[in-house]
Structure 1
Amino acid sequence: MATTAESTVSAKEATAAFFVSFKEKTQDVLDEFARIDSLPQAEGLALVNDLIRSVAELDKTTTSAAIFLPLYDQRQYSQQLKDLSAQLKEKRDALAPRAKFSFKGRNAARTASSKTAARPEASTTSTDAAAGPAKAGPPVVPPNAVSFYGLQGQYIASPPSDASEAGAVRDVYLISLADCVVNLADWQMSVGAVHIRDLTRCVVLVSPVSGSILLDSCIDCVLILACRQYRMHQSHNTRIHLYVGSKPIIEDCDGLEFNDYPVFTGSLGRLETSGLSALGNHFSEVEDFNWLKQHQSPNWRVGTPDNNTALQIVELLREGRWVEAKTAAQLPLVKPTSL
């Protein structure tokens, strides 16, 4: 029972608690920073390095809190930590022993010059770099993650070849997909979290995961998801069939429809093993960070109790009939006039 209570703490309460903790920790760093000038140089330098590590840890904590922090708060915290880190590094540079000046004779200078001349490729590299930055490639993801990037009109269902490794837990990234159908329902590997960004007219089915699902910039999509925490940014005109163990959070979104998660073969067992069934489903308790008034936000609504369409999509996907599944999803969606 205690676990359920902890998991259903509202995002606003979590945000308020984080604010208090962040303020205390940054103040501790500032208090210690004020002592540096009164210490011997070596001790002051050691303290600065300790404080730099503390700020780095606080930065990691802030990144982890992105699941419930509003975007504005994230930016403010990030800027404060950036400024504090710059201040500490400036102090470290001032305290660090400076290298002694040494005069190189002409022979040494000629030797260095000849070595440089023997490496013309170094000059070529510098010229290339000066010509301008290279075009941005695929997004950087953790080395152990599974990612699908830059696809259009594809059916994505096959897990990685090593997905059955015992104890393997992977994060999944779905980035820059258009007109795709994604079916991750039958993967046997353990998924830690799912990151979804820049999806257009896609259908996504993900079996229950024990961690978070973070979404950004989903347009005209149908999403069938189950997770412990759900957060969505800058998404529009999307239908979500959701099982979530805490209140879903949306920000800078509109035209969203939230529906209950469909029960299909194997889903109940996955909900149990992932620990989600004990938390209950809070899909209809959406918190809109852009709507602070007491009455209903115009940016989302609860759909009808009928889950036949979602079940039909699931059954078609699990049979590999992905074109028919996309047809059943009726994409692009027509924005309901009531939203």
Structure 2
Amino acid sequence: MEPEVDSTKAAAGNRKHLAMLERLSKRTAASSAASPEASPVAAFLSRFAAAKAAAESALSACRSSPDGAAASLAAASSAVDDLERLVAEASHSLPPYELRSALAAVSDLRAAHKLAASEIRPKKSFSFRNKSKATKNPPQDPPALPQPPPEQPKPNPDAILPGFGFRSRNGATLVKDLRAANEKDGDFTLADLVSCEVYLKGKCRALYIHKLRDCRVYIGPVFGSVLIEDVEGCTFVMAAHQIRIHEARETDFYLRVRSRPIIEDCSGVRFAPHALKYEGIEDDLRDSGLAEDTGNWANVDDFKWLRAVQSPNWCLVPEEERLPIVDISEVQEREDCK
């Protein structure tokens, strides 16, 4: 009799499971029919899945076609960067679980890319030789020296980082009035700058910052997202809807931000309130939806510190050490290269 009881319970369980799936299916269908664009989270997940598949396909091509491995590695790096930017731009509207899952997927793909690069690079061959079987009559001519392996081409930062901007400067003063630029309200990029001062008046849609050393950067409002990667010894003064900071060291951020700033793989970073002024900045802040200071500059999320206690990787700038309001109204547009 026991087998019959078990089968009866299993059948009942299956019926309940099928009924639940049917209810969920009807609910999803009804929601989609009522408002096909009602869920920004669902739209993001759809775009994320497509971008993730593209990155995985590029990584797979690295191993399946050795002859084009270098080009495939560059394409895979670009695909992972695109995926990371997609997450950064949508992070302010994502639930915490979805955001963490997306960031974990990006991190896994980044690690897979590094592994693929290490596997594809030529390795020095090594083999044991049996001395007892050495040929009795060695060749008279010395063996030809092995040719060094060709260097793997590195992805061009200009191809990865979108928008116009300032790149590859050392000791320069760089000034741009975005209100008068042809690319008004577009994307802007700062990359490979050393010991530079950067002044941007006006607003832009998105800002990408990559590999800055000992720079002072003063930025007008960003009505989208800011993605900062690999900076050290810098000071940033900016306002944006969402700011994500990756691999920053010994750097200060003076922020006005709608959502909580996100840091990852950072150390010695400090935060303080926004401290920038120029003629017309209040209009730019209002047009960008940043007229109100939410106080989120002090509410930092460290995605690599999951404990309940304060992360040791960031702190607030003591009041006595904070910058006064920086007025860049009189700074004239130029691009000095030293």
So what's the TM-score if we normalise by structure 2?
0.54
Task: State percent identity of aligned pairs.
Answer: 27
**1:262–1:307 contact (8 Å) kept in structure 2:** no
**1:260–1:305 contact (8 Å) kept in structure 2:** no
Aligned to 2:108: 76
1:140 aligns with 2:151: no
Q: Quote the offset at 1:253 in angstroms.
A: 0.3
Aligned to 1:271: 285
Query: Secondary structure of 1:174's partner?
Result: strand
Q: 1:292 aligns with which of 291, 294, 306?
A: 306
Aligned to 2:210: 197
Q: 1:150 aligns with which of 160, 165, 168?
A: 168
The structure-2 alpha-carbon separation of the partners of 1:164 and 1:236, relative to structure 1 and needing over 3 Å to count, comes to: same
**1:193–1:211 contact (8 Å) kept in structure 2:** yes
The structure-2 alpha-carbon separation of the partners of 1:160 and 1:133, relative to structure 1 and needing over 3 Å to count, comes to: farther
**2:161–2:208 contact (8 Å) kept in structure 1:** no
1:97-134 per-residue CA deviation (whole Å, 9 max, x = no partner) reads xxxxxxxxxxxxxxxxxxxxxxxxxxxxxxxxxx9468
**Structure 2 gap segments, 5+ residues each:** 1-40, 54-78, 92-98, 113-148, 334-338
Aligned to 2:232: 219
The structure-2 alpha-carbon separation of the partners of 1:226 and 1:294, relative to structure 1 and needing over 3 Å to count, comes to: same
**2:88–2:227 contact (8 Å) kept in structure 1:** no
Q: 1:235 aligns with which of 238, 243, 248?
A: 248
CA–CA distance in structure 1, aligned partners of residues 261 and 179 of structure 2: 33
Query: Secondary structure of 1:243's partner?
Result: strand
The structure-2 alpha-carbon separation of the partners of 1:304 and 1:79, relative to structure 1 and needing over 3 Å to count, comes to: closer
1:138-186 per-residue CA deviation (whole Å, 9 max, x = no partner) reads 5134897212111100000035897156xx43111100100000000x2
Q: How do residues 103-122 of structure 1 correspond to structure 2 at under 5 angstroms? A: none
The structure-2 alpha-carbon separation of the partners of 1:202 and 1:135, relative to structure 1 and needing over 3 Å to count, comes to: same
**2:226–2:242 contact (8 Å) kept in structure 1:** yes
**Structure 1 gap segments, 5+ residues each:** 1-16, 30-56, 81-130, 323-339
1:214-258 per-residue CA deviation (whole Å, 9 max, x = no partner) reads 001110001001000000001100011000010000000011110
Aligned to 1:251: 264
**1:194–1:214 contact (8 Å) kept in structure 2:** yes
CA–CA distance in structure 2, aligned partners of residues 235 and 78 of structure 1: 18
**2:305–2:311 contact (8 Å) kept in structure 1:** yes
1:64 aligns with 2:86: yes
Aligned to 1:8: none
The structure-2 alpha-carbon separation of the partners of 1:169 and 1:204, relative to structure 1 and needing over 3 Å to count, comes to: same
**Aligned residue type for 1:150:** S
Query: Secondary structure of 2:158's partner?
Result: coil
Aligned to 1:179: 195
The structure-2 alpha-carbon separation of the partners of 1:300 and 1:308, relative to structure 1 and needing over 3 Å to count, comes to: closer
CA RMSD of aligned residues (A): 4.0
Query: Secondary structure of 2:250's partner?
Result: strand
**Aligned residue type for 1:76:** D
CA–CA distance in structure 2, aligned partners of residues 61 and 252 of structure 1: 18
**1:147–1:172 contact (8 Å) kept in structure 2:** yes
CA–CA distance in structure 1, aligned partners of residues 45 and 308 of structure 2: 28
CA–CA distance in structure 2, aligned partners of residues 284 and 227 of structure 1: 14
Q: Quote the offset at 1:279 in angstroms.
A: 7.0
Aligned to 1:44: none
So what's the TM-score if we normalise by structure 1?
0.54
